Structure 1
């Protein structure tokens, strides 16, 4: 995913003709759901719930207002010839599934092989956060993280590993609370070199919480 594509994601609602509702409309929608659940939004304990829910949505889905490619726009070329793996492990993933809007909670490992330049390590964590703060499938999110790093930085390879539990599966439906979903994406040298790929996976496992 390049910068233009990511910008398109940010503008998806306006591009499709969907008008974003006002805060008052969003709060009223929460009151409707409260009534549908069987409770009274006018009772004391629920009076401020619509405001709290809308505020929480602003945080949970903040990724729609941010451009992941822009986070990778500034690189550093003075790396004294360093050309090995740059890897971040145990990054928190807090997302929501697009099918039930239930939480997806887990961790991500991301690595890339620099080609003459590196990016500030916090920017990689920011990319993970931006894509996780959207309605997602884990498979799509894993690919998006790799695609934007590949497109923005042109490294020799990218590796992404995500291990997460889906509350749509643990608290409803099949009710399997201990099931963890693992997704991976490899590009460039990571995809072509099994030993490099295995090294990445060992480091992910060794640093797992």
Structure 2
């Protein structure tokens, strides 16, 4: 292995896991698996190293109106903190500006920062909403997440067609039925 490809302690632990499973980590197909698994795990949990303020990077701009902004179908991939198995899906984010808007690409980056951690879907949804509320100080934030969980598909109840939907409604989306209804209608609309 090249010096830059030396595995660390996580890779060493993966080698031990392979042995505990009854595998031979020295066989051709597994020689580099501990290193690859370590790199994959570090990438899948890279959200712990992300700073939300660096992600936003002052990409806040004066709002010229106060109409709803909605970014839908943001794909995400995460790891369930209970079994360390993947769950994945889409997040839909809406907010009602109050003097400022955020660069649109920042919203998916914020989603990724929280998704790339050991997570539960309920917390992921809430963290995205609370973070946007804090950064933008909008009149309201709405987040809906739809996901499929491998911990339900590959093990346990083994239900491949099930999905989970979670939501977080803050500010006007919690208190104003018209705003909430508009968000839900726009979220379901396919304008393409």
> How high is the TM-score relative to the length of structure 1?
0.84
The alignment yields a C-alpha RMSD, in angstroms, of: 1.6
Counterpart for residue 148 of structure 2: 165
Q: 1:133 aligns with which of 113, 116, 125?
A: 116
Deviation at 1:199, TM superposition (A): 1.7
Cα distance in 1 for partners of 2:108, 2:128 equals 10
Question: Following superposition, which runs of at least 4 residues in structure 1 exceed 6 angstroms of deviation?
Answer: none
Counterpart mapping for 1:90-169 below 5 A: 90-169=73-152
Aligned residues: 185
Q: Distance in 2 between matches of 1:150 and 1:72?
A: 13
Query: 1:40: how far off?
Result: 0.8
Q: 1:49 aligns with which of 33, 55, 62?
A: 33
The 8 Å contact of residues 89 and 207 in structure 1, kept in 2 or not, is answered as no
Mapped to 2, the partners of 1:28 and 1:60 lie a distance apart of 18
* 1:48-70 residue CA offsets vs partner (Å, 9 max, x unmatched): 00111111112111100002244
Q: Deviations over 1:139-159 (max 9, x none)?
A: 011110011111111111000
Contact 2:7 2:34 in 1 (8 A): no
Runs of 5+ unmatched residues, structure 1: 1-21
TM-score normalised over the length of structure 2 = 0.92
Give distance in 1, aligned partners of 2:164 and 2:22: 33
Could you report, residue by residue, the CA deviation over 1:1-47 in whole angstroms, capped at 9, with x for unpaired residues?
xxxxxxxxxxxxxxxxxxxxx94211110011112222110101000
1:31 aligns with 2:15: yes
**C-alpha displacement at 1:101, in angstroms?**
0.3
SS at match of 2:123: helix
SS at match of 1:39: coil
Q: Distance in 2 between matches of 1:199 and 1:121?
A: 20
Aligned to 1:7: none
Q: Distance in 1 between matches of 2:134 and 2:153?
A: 35
- Taking the aligned partners of 2:130 and 2:164, their CA distance within structure 1 comes to 20
